[in-house]
Chains A and B, each alone.
Chain A
Amino acid sequence: MRRTVELRDHQRELYVFQFRLTVAAIVVGVVFLVLFVRLFYLQVIQHDYYQLLAEQNRVNIVPVVPHRGVILDRNGVTLATNYAAYTLEITPSEVSDVDALIEQISELVEVTPKDLRRFRKMLDEEPDFSSIPIRTRLNDAEVAHFAVNRYRIPGAQINARLFRHYPNAEMASHVVGYIGRLSETDYKGLERQGRAFNYTKSDYIGKVGLEQFYEQELRGVTGYEHVETDANGHSIRTLRSILPVSGNNLLLAMDVRLQQIAEEAFGDYRGSLVAIEPETGGVLAFVSRPGFDSNLFVEGIDPAQWAAMNNSPDHPLNNRALQGVYPPGSTFKPFMALAGLELGKRTANYSISDPGYFMLGGRGHVFRDWKAGGHGIVDMHKAIVESCDTYFYELAQDLGIDMIHDFIAQFGLGERTGIDIAGEVSGLLPSREWKEQRFNQRWFVGDTISVGIGQGYNLVTPLQLASATAILANGGQVFRPHLVRHIQNAQTNELKTVEPFPVAQVPLQPRHLDLVREAMVDVTRPGGTAAWAGSGAKYAFAGKTGTAQVIGLKGQKYDEEAIDERHRDHALFIGFAPAEAPKIALAVLVENGGHGSSTAAPIARKVIDYYLLGVEPKPLAPRAAVVESEGD
């Protein structure tokens, strides 16, 4: 009995075992099927996706920054160039303790507090940067010293990079501008324009001046290297490379030596000078004083230096030629004279008797001439030569604001010239409509009178004034002023010329022009307001002085010596030469320079002397030796 039970159990046991073994075998089969399905999913369905991920793992696309185009003056003098230098850079993502790393580095190469501040600023502002320089321009000894110890300092590496360099530092800095590291805003701007592909986030871009305006020409096209890289970031080999295309060179109309003479002529004065070639609109000199050293910005400016520049009362970062607005003062008078002649309100012989003031209407609102007692009998020639206010007060009244506005507007005052750097302001040529819009007030005749001598609401930029003078010089041809004369293809050296861009022609009668020009030549001759500056000129030097009030003095007599330096009048001068066939036209503004004759005109003389005669500037003859009339 017992035995049968055991036997039965034994049978049952075997049956259970084999049943369960079968179940297990089925489970094994199902599990392997699941596994295979998973592998099929990964290797067939998702293959493309993982293929891409593997490629991204493996292939590092390294951008190769193109050689940025250089900027040269009309004689080939370099204003902006590149040089290769070693930088020591830290890759923050690979470093856990940046401070300790900098400590280690500073034991090997010098790290100044300025370097540190710049590094911190970049780290704070753009944490996305792949690597941030802690030291730039390492010399060979420093490079060697670091290289030997490199293995001890993971996360830091030496890179050879191209740096922008401005050999003339402060000179023409407002024209050339500078480049700086790409900011988030810059990058978004590039994305909007569809140009972001050409940049990496740690790239440089033109921020100001020509560097900014001609960014697309100067930049070139970024090349790429497809580098096979292992998991430790070591490059194995270059799979493919697309060479970068160098940026194009800019050849300017500017003459660097002329620019330098102009800048030096300002001495310690703040101000601006723009000189234009009347036949083309090419800008020969473009001064805004004080300037700044463009090189400071390239590697990221030190915050302290930045603050100092930004807060300086001299505003060195302001481009005065482009953005400074000033009343044109008496430099407005030649244009007024032309208006009077062209619009038939004046003839050459028409004369007035100047009592030293102009009375508006019968009620006796008095506008004073700068010369107490007046200029006597004054015709147009004398009015320009002696800068007679009374003559132009009356002329303004006869023309009326509408005529003045419409005629002068042809010379581009109160309007952007369209020069090839950004940031230009329009200034203001007042009109009836403008006043109604701006002040919701009708135009009074009294407003017109001040406008007639370049005061009142009038506001111009030195660039506009220079451009208007060039139009006067070339007989009415309006050109868009341009700094760049040629764009040179870096590959082929082929020159693309920036053709003079004629905007309009101001219809002017030659005899009217001759009258005004002759008077302007006499301005720089004995008896004229700029006789001192014009003394001994070996060419016909046409000019006009001007003064712009900084503060209104009500009833007080203006005493230059007694007044705070920054409240002194601005001195202005416009001129061109040689008068019969002008090669250069310019406008000079000296902030708080007092009278145009004493500070602005001599600067113009030095510039023209050099440009026409090649004469290096030397101090003018002592003032006392020349007979002249003071005033504007």
Chain B
Amino acid sequence: MINRILAYLGRHLDRQLMILVSILLVMGLLILFSASGASVERVAAQAGNIGVALAIMWLAANIPLHHLASVALPLYIVGLVLLVAVELVGLEVNGAQRWLDLGFARVQPSELMKIAVPMMLAWYFDRYEAVLRFSNFIVATILVVIPVLLIASQPDLGTSLLVAVAGFYVLFLAGLSMRLLIGTGVVGIAALPFLWSAMHDYQRQRVMTLLDPMQDPLGAGYHTIQSTIAMGSGGVLGKGWLNGTQSHLEFLPERSTDFIFAVFGEEFGLLGNLVLILLFMLVIGRGLIIAANAPTLFARLLAGGVSLTFFTYVFVNMGMVGGLLPVVGVPLPLISYGGTSLVTLLFGIGLLMSIRTHRRLVPT
């Protein structure tokens, strides 16, 4: 009986994704326990976040594909409205205006856009499935650029980049011409000086710090220096769970959120990192397989976009901790402490599951 109920509840959950995600979430809780200095409270709070996010994933997985397509436009519009609202009446925290107080909860509309933008583009291309013209790509680009600029002005460079990249993935998968792609790349590089002059001081500093962290070892370079020390000192096998000195003696900043990967690398070493990277690659690979086998263009583009956005999260975070990329506020998916990104990411995983499991139920 119970088995049948469970089977019913789980019929839209992809078994492989579910297993991979569960392993990652458990690993996240374990490393959070260490990173937080054995704080049961923190782990419990994160377990709560996971519960909520899993529920949302379940909901997303159970939404039929055609319903999903129909919410794309409203979701995008709501997202845009909220972003404008943030611009006008948002809460300022640490010099950036990112949050909106809805009375009962504080939300970060930019987070919503990480899903809403690829969804919107997927829906848009799906509508013009048969006749994809150049003008479609122009419209799609505008659809990406508007939220990206709004988020960048908060300012939130990290999130705006992620949203832009998510949009770009969909454009790329939808068949944006290679010539245009290369052209955009050239223009982009040419635009770098202008972008530089438009940047906030702290953003420039982050870039400079990446190029030479030792320039400001106690200021902006501190994060990178301490995280590479943590990583490097971990060696092949790591210092062992709960034995990381960089984290436990508080040298590593933001060790339970954005820099949790450094704690992991210090305590579990290169071997642990290899396992973690493989798990993430399996999740992404599964997502790409789901995309490849998706029944509609909307589903294909959405699944591809979501999978590649997930990949971007992983890479940007790991690259930042490893000292390859500037310090941008991107958490490590499923591992970092915090509810917002977890909800977004598991919502995305839920969408993948929905695409996977509703495949045969929708006639094409």
Contacts and interface: CB of A to CB of B under 8 A. Distances in A.
Chains A and B form a bound pair: yes
Interface of A: 5-6, 9-10, 13, 16-18, 20-21, 24-25, 28-29, 31-32, 34-36, 38-40, 42-44, 46-47, 49-51, 53-55, 57-58, 228-232, 236
In the A-B complex, the 9 residue pairs with the smallest Cβ-Cβ separation, listed nearest first, are: A50-B232, A54-B233, A231-B250, A230-B249, A42-B232, A43-B270, A6-B130, A16-B175, A50-B233
A57 B311 CA distance: 33
Interface in B84-100: none
A57 B232 contact: no
A230 B244 CA distance: 12
B231 A50 contact: yes
Given A42-B322, A54-B246, A21 B232 contact: no
Nearest to B273: A39
B300 A54 contact: no
Contact of B175 (A17, A29, A228): A17
Contact of A39 (B169, B226, B231, B292): B231
A35 B288 contact: no
Interface stretch (B186-194, B277-285, B345-353): B277-285
Nearest to B251: A231
B173 A43 contact: no
A58 B235 contact: no
A58 B245 contact: yes
A42 B231 contact: yes
Contact of A44 (B228, B236, B297, B324): B236
A230 B246 CA distance: 9
B315 interface: yes
A39 B173 CA distance: 30
19 contacts: A9-B130, A13-B297, A17-B174, A18-B292, A20-B175, A25-B285, A28-B288, A32-B277, A35-B315, A35-B318, A38-B323, A39-B231, A39-B322, A43-B269, A43-B273, A47-B232, A51-B233, A54-B230, A230-B251
B245 A40 contact: no
Counting contact residues on chain B (CB < 8 A from A), the size range is: 35 or more
Given A43-B270, A47-B233, A54-B246, 12 more contacts: A9-B132, A17-B173, A17-B174, A25-B288, A34-B324, A39-B322, A42-B323, A43-B234, A43-B235, A43-B269, A57-B245, A57-B251
B265 interface: yes
B19 interface: no
B304 interface: yes
Nearest to A50: B232
B270 A35 contact: no
B308 interface: yes
A13 B129 contact: yes
A232 B250 contact: yes
A234 to B, nearest CB: 9
A24 B273 CA distance: 22
Interface string B207-237: 0000000000000000000101111111110
Contacts of A40: 270
B234 A24 contact: no
B185 to A, nearest CB: 14
B172 interface: yes
A302 B110 CA distance: 64
Interface string B291-317: 110000100110010001001000100
A43 B232 contact: yes
Interface in B316-338: 318-319, 322-324
Interface of B: 129-132, 169, 172-175, 226, 228-236, 245-246, 249-251, 265, 269-270, 273-274, 277, 280-281, 284-285, 288, 291-292, 297, 300-301, 304, 308, 311, 315, 318-319, 322-324
Contacts of B281: 28-29, 32
A13 B232 contact: no
A448 to B, nearest CB: 74
Contacts of B270: 39-40, 43-44
B235 A51 contact: yes
Contacts of B269: 43
B274 A36 contact: yes
A374 B297 CA distance: 137
A35 B292 CA distance: 26
B241 to A, nearest CB: 17
B245 A43 contact: no
Nearest to A51: B233
A43 B246 CA distance: 14
A47 B322 contact: no
A228 to B, nearest CB: 7
A24 B304 contact: yes
Contact of A21 (B131, B277, B291): B291
B262 to A, nearest CB: 10
B4 to A, nearest CB: 37
Contacts of B284: 28
Contacts of A230: 249-251
Contacts of A50: 228-229, 231-233
A20 B246 contact: no
A57 to B, nearest CB: 5
A21 B173 contact: yes
A16 B304 CA distance: 13
Contact of A49 (B169, B232, B297, B311): B232
B130 A58 contact: no
B235 A44 contact: yes
Contact of A28 (B130, B236, B301, B311): B311
B278 to A, nearest CB: 9
A13 B175 contact: yes
A20 B270 CA distance: 32
Contacts of B169: 24
Nearest to A39: B273
B132 A13 contact: yes
B231 A43 contact: yes
B308 to A, nearest CB: 6
A44 B246 CA distance: 18
Contacts of B250: 230-232
Contacts of B174: 17
B113 to A, nearest CB: 21
B264 to A, nearest CB: 11
